[in-house]
Structure 1
């Protein structure tokens, strides 16, 4: 019996033929990606291209089952391909160890696929693939998981909402002064240790004076001045790195001198518990006695999963500073501008963050955390569950069957949830495009252009204004690429610069927005495709598509509506779930936009 005869019997010969011949682009080879690739090759999909930039880490092995210990530090895409071929040696899998945003993955390349499947773990890449699929008019299956939560939906140009149609959650922020002067929770201490102190001592110090000035008022002028003085003092102390007394100097500065300066500001502590400075000499005396007791009382407890004692935090703080200093000084021997960056899997960095945050927590009377807990909070770790990834990957393939069969109306947004409803698998009808979405409501066309010769002025005259005469009319549009302004009515410095010199090259996206209050005029997004020659010698441009189209997608919430079955959710009843919400577990420090966790379980920004 042929290997896939059972699939052909279940799907029908016509659909199964489409599955065999379908060209699939799969983006991401992490938790969901490993499960998905296995599902694809075992379901009869034979033409698969896989893109992933990451390499395999030890922490991946508990859920990304295509990888093993011997694969650590190797390309996820390449190893996933090799492992998947063991399930189906006849599959044609092309692996790319690359960034999906690289120019090689152009619009024409996207157009060569029949369907795209996302298994990504970051917002920026999701947005890019969403835009590319809209321009190429290729159906996209988006997915995500977070713990026991999972989600799969379909994005099809002009028929369903895109990734950008729903607003993203509002992130919870904390002022710099809270982190630096008046912490009240463990996360404040961890943020301080990771984003402030680690960077000041070993990384690239952040320029935070501007943010501090924003918080300046009559009541906190002394506090702001004090914080600026602390930062300058740390920069001077860094010059002593490598000396025998360096750990002691740092300890004395951050856990004693700085705390005593805070205590001078008596008004700050009228309604708060005063911090208690730590004394180096006292802890040095206690270290030997308490460490001996810890060896007998905690010998059977995993070090990373138990709370460290005060003197244990003290000892680990001193030792981790020595090790990190040695590492940085060694790198500076070959690169004077070298710096260290935080890595949750770096033992020395995590020892430093854990000990430092716990010592600070002790000073302010805040709950201390184990190294395991600190790593989860500082490293943006949301516990990943292999079973959830497997369910999500299965739902992706089921939705793909419907898309390939032309049954888009039968596709749904599907959720995996352990306790929100009686059923674990929930679904809702696909939403229509949001008429106010600036992404999917834009006009998407491909612009063939000689980037070496065409200038921005040529583009505005020939493509936007529709003529090439020497007129001085002001073109009332704004031109953007990758978030940077290239041109607007008050900024014309780049008019005579070529596309190539503006770094607008093959695969880039240029958005042109009319400077008009006419709500019916949407932006036009040009996908750049370099071409050396054209039929007419008098032009450097050729447009694939109609840039005059400005029609608004009409949305009727009752259109195509049918009776819901018991496992489905009415989108109108669930609308409140899609509104922006404050994410309680996410922390951003305003001075450096540090995000402590990824974008929470909201509309396809949950992650693996």
Structure 2
């Protein structure tokens, strides 16, 4: 079954994301002849977008991506189309289940794991087909999702963004990336809002006019002297270098320190610019396209690399790592967006038996860069599209109610859930609670599941505005339950 021109013009499509893939998708949809589109994106256009997001130019910098993408794509490719733009986050309450039900298909063009999970969940609940796609450098993937018929986005676990051990970043960096992350934490500590998760929260600095020197002496000299004294730490590698600010600044052009000197000067200049901004306007957040911030992180990164005998990196590489930037290549975006449209047309034409998951590789596999595989049936253990009743393995004597709330809320993308044990209300959350209610539920949340009367095989129910989910609590041998061991260990240090 193929779609007629009249049928195409009646279909309603939601495009989530107006970045590299989103721009290509909008163009393709309009060129086919679709007339009713909506596009959602929270971001604004910046200079770094222009090399691949072809709907934008320099005059658009600072304006909402969704608004400009809708305007420009309509002018170029679909003057008769009706395109509604929304400049806000996809988790906005106005995009509820009823909103999703107004569309024939949803296109996910996002680069954010949590947002993609959210759209997946909404489409499953609304029973609306979803076409998800993503790229990373030269590789990419397209996945068609038919609720309750194929695997959803969360049927298979997704690898979270890579993190690094705190001790490695602080005391024993082995790559330049570790130094970049350390420098990013430092800039947040010095000029940002308070953050309990900052690795350098124990650093204390004054607000004197020579604050730049106080910070330099601590992080690049006195702290290094302490690390230098640990024989155990440096058994397998060279000890860090100890250099004062004066030694580097006053070094001759023939000195081994000559390569570090420009970064020390850059540190001084960028620090004082940021300090002035901080004094005038208060704390600010890190921004990957802010030249002064990137100068500061570049300087700190390369000074620290030199101290720990590591190869330094360029300003561009620092910006890439500090901003967690995944290299985006226009050609890859174009290929993946084209594949997404092919799968979308299969869905709209009711050719579900022909649906394929498509992979784009960097290197040929059996002389092919593209690999295709059939879609699979939903994973019965999936929290989103599997059975309505799922098992949750835990140690009832270790897990508190709050432990299970945190894990299930994150896994299932629940928003302010209500928790029940049979008909008994155990826990509520949300902005409309009174102070006394919040305090009461916090107390309940700290209780262990066994103290709340839960036994092996009993059920616990989670409910928010969108979905109700039931979990069977299953006791497992503590020796084999890694999660329980981790929770036990963490509680020893509370």
User: Aligned residue for 1:586?
Assistant: none
Instruction: Give CA-to-partner distance per residue, 1:391-418, whole Å, 9 cap, x none.
Output: 1111111111111111111111112224
Match of residue 64 from structure 1 = 53
Paired position in structure 2 for 1:325: 275
Greater C-alpha radius of gyration:
1
Q: 1:109 aligns with which of 95, 99, 118?
A: 99
In the alignment, the residues of structure 2 paired with residue 200 and residue 489 of structure 1 have an alpha-carbon distance, to the nearest angstrom, of 43
Q: Distance in 2 between matches of 1:67 and 1:21?
A: 28
| 8 Å contact kept, 1:442–1:524 | no
The question of whether the paired residues in 2 share the 8 Å contact of 1:21 and 1:45 is answered with yes
Question: Quick one: which of 43, 46, 51 aligns to 2:40?
Answer: 51
Q: Are 2:211 and 1:246 aligned?
A: yes
Q: Which whole-Å deviations, capped at 9, do the CAs of 1:61-82 have from their partners, x for residues lacking one?
A: 0000000000000010110111
> In structure 2, do the counterparts of structure 1 residues 202 and 290 end up closer, same or farther at CA, with 3 Å as the change threshold?
farther
Does structure 1 residue 439 correspond to structure 2 residue 384? Answer: yes
Alignment of 1:224-235 (within 5 A): 232=202, 234-235=203-204
1:92, 1:66 → 2: CA distance? 17
1-side partners of 2:237 and 2:469: how far apart?
63
Aligned residue runs from structure 1 range 491-502, under 5 A: 500-501=432-433
CA distance in 1 between counterparts of 2:433 and 2:28 reads 45
Q: Which residue of 2 aligns with 1:97?
A: 87
Q: Of the candidates 330, 339, 347, which is equivalent to residue 386 of structure 1?
A: 330
How far is the alpha carbon of 1:183 from its aligned partner? 1.4
Task: Please show how residues 478-493 of structure 1 align to structure 2 within 5 Å.
Answer: 482=414, 486-489=418-421
| Secondary structure in 1 matching 2:340 | helix
Please tell me whether the aligned partners of residues 150 and 415 of structure 1 are also in contact (alpha carbons under 8 angstroms): yes
Could you tell me which of 214, 228, 237 is aligned with 1:272?
A: 237
Where do 1:458-537 residues align within 5 Å?
A: 482=414, 486-489=418-421, 500-501=432-433, 527-528=465-466
> Do the aligned residues in 1 keep the contact of 2:419 with 2:461 (CA within 8 Å)?
no
Match of 1:400 among 322, 344, 368: 344
Q: Which SS does the other structure have where 1:286 is aligned?
A: coil
The 1:249–1:346 alpha-carbon spacing in structure 2 relative to 1, beyond 3 Å, is same
> 1:425 maps to what in 2?
370
Change in 2 beyond 3 A, CA 1:168/1:548: closer
Displacement after TM superposition at 1:167 (Å): 1.0
Q: Distance in 1 between matches of 2:378 and 2:368?
A: 28
Task: Give me the whole-angstrom Cα distance separating, in 1, the residues matched to 2:315 and 2:354.
Answer: 48
Structure with the larger helix share = 2
Q: Which moved more, 1:197-206 or 1:365-374?
A: 197-206
- What is the CA-CA distance between 1:517 and the residue it aligns to? 5.8
- SS of alignment partner, residue 250 of structure 2: helix
Closer, same or farther in 2 for the Cα pair 1:441/1:138, shift >3 Å? same
Q: Taking structure 1 as reference, are residues 426 and 175 closer, same or farther at Cα in structure 2, changes over 3 Å only? A: closer
CA contact (8 A) 1:442 1:522 kept: no
d(CA) in 2 for partners of 1:149, 1:268: 39
CA distance in 2, matches of 1:27, 1:548: 26
Counterpart residue number, 1:136: 126
* 1:512 match: none
Counterpart in the other structure of 1:285: 250
Task: Tell me the TM-score normalized by structure 1.
Answer: 0.65
Paired residues for 1:94-243 under 5 Å: 94-169=84-159, 173-195=163-185, 197-207=186-196, 232=202, 234-235=203-204, 237-240=205-208, 243=209
> Are the counterparts in 2 of residues 157 and 440 from structure 1 also a CA contact under 8 Å?
yes
Residue 380 of structure 1, CA deviation: 1.0
How far, CA to CA, are the matches of 2:28 and 2:335 in structure 1?
A: 11
Aligned-residue offset at 1:262: 1.8
| Cα distance in structure 2, aligned partners of 1:498 and 1:201 | 33
CA distance in 2, matches of 1:83, 1:498: 40
Whether contact under 8 Å (1:20, 1:46) holds in the other structure is yes
Q: Is the 8 A contact 1:32 1:393 kept in 2?
A: yes
Does the C-alpha gap of structure 1 residues 176 and 31 become closer, same or farther in structure 2, counting only changes over 3 Å? Answer: same
1:72/1:113 Cα in 2 relative to 1: closer, same or farther (>3 Å)?
same
1:315 aligns with 2:304: no
Matches of 1:366 and 1:548, distance apart in 2:
51
2-side partners of 1:439 and 1:231: how far apart? 38
How far apart are residue 290 of structure 1 and its match? 8.2
Between the aligned partners of 1:184 and 1:278, the Cα distance in structure 2 is 19
Distance 1:526 1:254 in 2: 47
Deviation of 1:266 after TM superposition, in Å, equals: 3.3
Question: 1:488: Cα distance to partner?
Answer: 4.7
CA deviation after TM superposition for structure 1 residue 492, in Å? 5.2
Deviation of 1:208 after TM superposition, in Å, equals: 6.0
User: How far off is 1:23 after superposition?
Assistant: 0.6
> Structure 1 pair 381/173, CA: closer, same or farther in 2 (3 Å)?
closer
Going from structure 1 to structure 2, the CA distance change for 1:100 and 1:485 (only over 3 Å counts) comes to closer
Corresponding residue of 1:41: 30
Verify the 8 A CA contact 2:461 2:469 in the aligned structure 1.
no
Q: Conserved in 2, the CA contact under 8 Å of 1:320 and 1:349?
A: yes
Q: Is 2:207 aligned against 1:257?
A: no
User: How far off is 1:96 after superposition?
Assistant: 0.8
1:375 maps to 2:375: no
Cα gap change, 1:231 to 1:403, in 2 (>3 Å): closer
Deviation at 1:158?
Answer: 1.2
1:441–1:522: 8 Å Cα contact kept in structure 2?
Answer: no
1:190–1:526 distance in 2 versus 1, CA, 3 Å: closer
* 1:357 corresponds to: 301
Q: Using the alignment, how far apart are the partners of 1:35 and 1:516 within structure 2?
A: 53
TM-score where L is the length of structure 2: 0.79
Aligned length: 431
